[in-house]
Amino acid sequence: MLKYFVSTQRTQGERDNDSNSIPGPEIVDLASLSHEDPDSPICGCARSFVGITSRQTSTTAEVVESDMTAAQYIGRFHAGLLALGREDNVETRNGVIDAAVELLLLAAMWPVGTVVERRLHEIRVRSFPAES
């Protein structure tokens, strides 16, 4: 079983600058940084995840688990970038692998149901899953 992050509405509103424009649970990547202020009222890139298909953003993500393989997960990242018009070359593929593996390693650290937030270069736990 593979653990990874998807966008979530859970815990939205705990911060005044929370937002989620992703239509439903979607695999997320880290948004590109145009500045390094996670509290910027103008741009939320330093506090956001971005959906790999919708390209919309969310300030929260949740750890989920499925029978998807790591190769399938990386393939979804790759397809998302190609859909944006990125050239399919070695640089793009290597960037996809690096980003996907980084997120898989992070997601593997927490139990399924953990909600995280991004604060610049740090991913922080916002909420652990309830004990059953």
**Domain residue spans in the chain?**
2-127
Place of tokens 């393989």: 69
pLDDT at 85: 87
| Mean pLDDT, residues 79-94 | 91
pTM: 0.92
The rounded mean pLDDT for the chain is: 92
For strands 60-66 and 115-119, give the pairing: antiparallel
- Output the DSSP codes for 46-101: GG-EEETTT--EESEEEEEEES--HHHHHHHHHHHHHHTT---SHHHHHHHHHHHH
| Mean pLDDT, residues 8-32 | 92
Q: List pLDDT tens digits, range 58-67.
A: 999 999 999 9
Residue 121 C-beta-side C-alpha neighbours within 13 Å: 2
Q: In the chain, what percentage of residues exceed pLDDT 90?
A: 73
